[in-house]
A and B are shown apart, each in its own frame.
Chain A
Amino acid sequence: MTLPQTSTPIFSRKAREILDGTIQPVVVIIFAMIGVLVLLAATGYDPAKAVDAMGRSLGKDLGGTIRWTTPLILTGVASALAFRAGVLNIGVDGQIYVGGIFASMVALGPASTMPGIIGIPVVLGAGILGGALWALIPGTLRVRFGADELVTSILLISVARLLVEFLVLGPMAAAGAASASLGTDQFAEGLWLPVIIPRSTANLGFFLAIAVAIGMAFLFYRTTIGYALKMVGQNRRFAVYGGISPVKTFMIAMLGSGAIGGLVGSMELLGVMRRMPQGFNPGLGFDGIVVALLARNHPIACIFAALFFGMLRTAADNMERFADTPRTVVQIVQAIIVLAVSAQLSFGWLRSRMNRRSTPTSGPASDELTSRSGIDMPA
């Protein structure tokens, strides 16, 4: 088992890896879906209608699916970037809010008179900057003072959400009648991201998201930065010993992750909301963690994982509307997937530990055989 396999493979190594990596998530998804259908049937809902609603999200309501897939691809990639380097940026949601704030400040200010072709990139750039700056706070706290970024980045989500609330209630509140709706004025029409499926909010951002995912795949697998991030993420002491700067890689992962979060914020506003309402982010960042988990931090796999969750979210909307089924079923599906994937990861981890311990081929392991088991006296 620990010996390298020498038998001739049926598939090439690459193909086998892709296959191995795909089968498990698909199995997990299938089981999650079956679980939910059984649950619906058991609680008196009609599973057939649920299946029907699911079908709708790929047919009549494809626009809805694309609309949700777009931000989920990006938040998935944002999480994958951080996780690859072992950085626990759990605060993408906060970075989305601040990206949105920066975007709307620019969109309502200097960019309001620009033509779309210039204005849109400027606004998106502002969003990216905002997200990166918000990620700089937990990043600096970690590097300077050793404060755990997991905790600080989560705490900063609430700060960002309340900041949006404050701004739309006061300084940036819409004028006149619109002010009652707790949001800013609408952005100039030229800044709206072009819709790609009529009668929906699916917009050009979808292609941008795919481009970002592909770009990130290049970064991960073809660049020195990607290599450094991976080495630090896998074994920090090894990477540092080899000359890789842990501070630099940490900041790249943290700020990169925040920048993508900021992009999501600005795209949501330009493409879907067309202004900044309060609480405009329904937890896209946390959903992105699940996407990255299912995609095992692979940017291209994030596209497919996001598509699945986008479909699910749309199906949930439709179920509530047409099948009278509560949308919480989506959360149940997500929960099952999170449990299954993390159980699988921890089993894999446990197995590799067990192997290491019981394989006398490596030095320290065979010592452990005698020193760890049996004797119960303190050393």
Chain B
Amino acid sequence: MAYSVELLDITKRFPGVLANDGVTVRFEEGGIHAVIGENGAGKSTLMGILYGLHQPDAGQIIVRGARVTVPDPSAAIALHLGMVHQHFMLVPSLTVAENVILGNTPTRRGLTDIKVAEERLSALSEQYGMAVRPGARVRDLSVGILQRVEILKALYRGADVLILDEPTAVLTPQESFALFDTLRALSAQGKTIVFISHKLKEVLAVAERVTVMRGGKVTGELATAGTNERELARLMVGREVILTIDKQDPTPGEVVLELRGVHAIDDRRLPALRDVDLQVKAGTIMGIAGVEGNGQTELIEVITGLRPTTGGRISLGGTDITGRSPRELREAGLAHIPEDRLERGVSTEATIEENLILDTFHKPPLSRRGWLDRKAIRSYANQLIRDYEIATPDAETRAGSLSGGNMQKIVVAREIAGGPPLLIAAQPTRGVDVGAIEYIHRRIVELRDKGSAVLLISAELDEILSLADEIAVLYEGRIVSVQPRAEVDELELGLRMAGVHGDAEPDGAGAAA
């Protein structure tokens, strides 16, 4: 079969990092090809080189048999390459058609001819089975539809090769399935699809071939038909990874955390939490599922004392803790893995040691009457570094110089070390590599087995499904359902996350049709 794009021996060096090291990948015409790897493996850089965002230091780019250079994205478009970014590049106040023709406007006697564009767009969406109304305002559309608009935009500009950067990161399961259908339809009509991902399941579900990258190099290229999650994970991480978590049935104890009728407003002073009731019992993990931006951040912040409530009560172990300060809450037994590591979880300028003692520095044995005991602090830090397998030369290393996974281990070590009765774990594995994910999951389950209550908030549905004993769905600031894990149907969960009860179509798809 012919190749539509070949990247041969690509090398790209950024200051201090070899992002791509002699990478060779070939994409078959009309095929669906996945490029997978951990954060920092070099996959985004490679796609950036193909799309003209970066210039390679060495290597060749061959498009349809001819050697080319791609100095910038417009050259890529001229070569019939199209890219769908993770963050959509659309103007909310314009219509779909207006967005699509931006920078490439059809004119008639000097005036914009939107009709032509709308007709072509309708033809395209019909041809590939992507229902989108050209006259709809972009701001009214759901995330899944926006992604379709992005794909249509690329097709409208004549793309034969479509590059999608982590396309499912922002989608509900239903929207993901719809996207996969679209990709298959596109491929069936001769378009070449390249998609970047780190989700093994979906790679196996939709791609025909997969290239695995690690540390800037290709570690494997295989047909998805002949491989499995385990092998891909091993190629990504470079060692065996345990993907499923071994966990016993929970032994639920007393209610540790209880929210009753809690209301809160967000930073724009709009209602973010409405009448939230929630109970988390000792020895269990309660998972909060939901598409990001449905009140998760506010829920975490009101429980951890970082945001005031505007109504309702929160209690911890039977005591009312509404309106307490973070210090008081920590004294009462609350630990918190925050959702944004770099903003709250660690101080990148501070040393690992200083990061590890944030919640304990004011108490013996680390300090007495206001004086820090430097020996005790050093041995405490070294102990945590050993116990939690934080890869660092010593305790005095700047936290910011560590990898994302190791930084997150600092957070996990600090929060879990004291054996807190209640752990709020928000996006505990966001942006960390597969090996660290496995480790952090194991630690959270261990904590639960020792009798702590865990509230897990995650945008990764898989993480919730594999860890949680009970799953609550948060939609537009309300808890719309709470079910034991065993009774949860993944598809139904997805519908609830999209705000639909029962078996009706999700909002997004309905609006588009």
Task: Give me the interface of A with B, judged by CB distance under 8 Å.
Answer: 1-6, 13, 222-228, 230-231, 234-235, 237-245, 352, 354-356, 358-364, 366-367, 369-371, 373-375, 377-379
Contact = CB atoms under 8 A, between A and B. Distances in A.
B91 interface: yes
* Among all A-B residue pairs, the 9 with the closest Cβ atoms: A363-B431, A243-B327, A1-B16, A360-B40, A242-B358, A358-B14, A235-B347, A374-B53, A377-B89
A222 B325 contact: no
Contact of A237 (B325, B344, B362, B393): B344
Nearest to B196: A370
A237 B343 contact: yes
B191 interface: no
Contacts of A4: 392-393, 397, 401-402
B429 to A, nearest CB: 10
A238 B397 CA distance: 18
Given A13-B396, A238-B345, A242-B359, A230 B350 contact: yes
Contacts of A356: 400
A318 B329 CA distance: 62
Interface in B28-42: 39-42
Contacts of A226: 372
Interface of B: 14-17, 19, 39-42, 44-45, 47-48, 51-54, 72-73, 85-91, 102-103, 165, 304, 306, 325-327, 329-330, 336, 338, 342-350, 354, 357-359, 361-362, 367, 370-372, 374, 392-394, 396-397, 400-404, 407, 430-432
Main secondary structure of the interface of A (DSSP, over half): helix
Contact of B342 (A239, A352, A364, A367): A364
A214 to B, nearest CB: 15
A363 B354 contact: no
A19 to B, nearest CB: 16
Nearest to B301: A241
A3 B401 contact: yes
Contact of B326 (A13, A242, A375): A242
B43 to A, nearest CB: 9
14 contacts: A13-B394, A222-B372, A224-B370, A224-B371, A231-B350, A238-B345, A241-B344, A243-B358, A355-B16, A361-B40, A374-B48, A375-B85, A375-B89, A377-B103
A242 B355 CA distance: 10
Nearest to A238: B347
Contacts of A238: 343-347, 358
A230 B374 contact: no
Contacts, number: 171
A363 B432 contact: yes
B349 A235 contact: yes
A369 B306 contact: no
Contacts of A222: 371-372, 374
A227 B39 CA distance: 33
Contacts of A234: 347, 349-350
A8 to B, nearest CB: 11
A370 to B, nearest CB: 5
B327 A370 contact: no
Given A224-B370, A241-B326, A377-B103, A369 B16 contact: no
A223 B404 CA distance: 30
A13 B272 CA distance: 49
B39 A366 contact: yes
A231 B347 contact: yes
Given A358-B14, A363-B430, A370-B47, A224 B393 contact: no
A243 B52 contact: no
B271 to A, nearest CB: 24
Contact of A362 (B40, B87, B394): B40
A243 B347 contact: no
Nearest to B19: A360
B351 to A, nearest CB: 10
A238 to B, nearest CB: 5
Contacts of A225: 370
A234 B342 CA distance: 12
A243 B325 contact: yes
Contact of B359 (A235, A243, A371, A375): A243
